[in-house]
Amino acid sequence: MNTNFFEIAEVPIEVVIPDGLDVFMLMPSFAAFAVDASCCDAPLFRLDASLPAGALDSLPAGLVVDETVNDMGRLRLSLSGSGLLLDINYVSRGPVHRMYVDRDFRSASASLCWTDPHVGDALSSMLRAACSQALVPCGVLSFHASAVELDEKAYMFLGPSGTGKSTHAALWRSAFSGCTLLNDDNPFVVVRSDGAFVCGSPWSGKTPCYLRRVRPLGGIARIRRAPFNRFTPLSDASVFSALLPSCSGIKADAGAFGCLCDVLSALSAVAPAGIMDCLPDVAAALVCRRGIENIQTKQSINHI
């Protein structure tokens, strides 16, 4: 077996693939997140993807709790005994790759078709889906968002696909000297006693930006298209409602969803956040930054 260790959002995970395969040829975006085995005495999550093709086909698929088609392919999540099954069909009528995850999200096994030219994408998608839930008990949330870094802080932009998250991130980079992209699709947020921190990840959509970097959260804006530029600050309860749709995780499982909500509540209490109604122009970036900084100033005064 070929055992590999990675650190995602400051959490160690283990990935096992068959001998003779190169994990970085399969998933080049993971190269920056590789760590030595000595750093991973007790990985939080382990995926054994060394099973032969078809090894999990006999597992019965029960109630389907989620079914989507997105950049990760065609995904179907269903209950199976005391765990969950994830079936990934990366292209229409292509081979189906299957992963079984224990309900505690500490370990998983996978059966992949290694001759599929998209097998690396399927393996990456499995890890993305599993980590989005496995890391939650550690205070880590996975977001569908674009994130930039400015003055040693990270700013995230949320919204449904096609809203303009990436466009707004690009506007910040144009408007502010030294502003750079941290992740363009799937940043993680770590919520700790000393605050919230945004982490780069091996998943960045169509924009290659795979940075193993952690920055304090500066603020969050939920992007909405509008014929004007206006930033509306949100209260704690409203922050929760604004962030929840962009959180990745298994929301059909009561226990898993409850844990996610606990972490999201803690984040909502400290995150400077607002709704950004905007045009796709540089002025929008200026309005958004000013709105977030006003919240930061009020929070600082309240803590004095």
Q: What is the pLDDT of residue 303?
A: 55
Tell which residue, 50, 166, 39, 172, has the closest CA to residue 112.
Answer: 50
Q: What is the pLDDT of residue 300?
A: 64
Q: What is the pLDDT of residue 302?
A: 62
Q: What is the pLDDT of residue 71?
A: 63
Q: What is the pLDDT of residue 103?
A: 84
Answer yes or no: are the C-beta atoms of 8 and 188 closer than 8 Å. Answer: yes
Q: What is the pLDDT of residues 86-140, one digit of tens each?
A: 999 877 777 899 999 998 889 999 999 999 998 999 999 999 999 999 999 999 9
Q: What is the pLDDT of residue 59?
A: 86
- Show pLDDT as tens, one digit a residue, over the chain (304 residues): 899 999 999 999 999 999 999 999 999 999 999 998 877 778 899 999 999 888 998 888 888 878 877 665 688 888 887 888 999 987 777 789 999 999 888 999 999 999 999 899 999 999 999 999 999 999 999 999 999 999 999 999 999 988 999 999 999 999 999 999 999 999 999 999 999 999 999 999 999 999 999 999 999 999 999 999 999 999 878 999 999 999 988 777 778 889 999 999 999 999 999 999 999 999 999 999 999 999 987 776 665 4
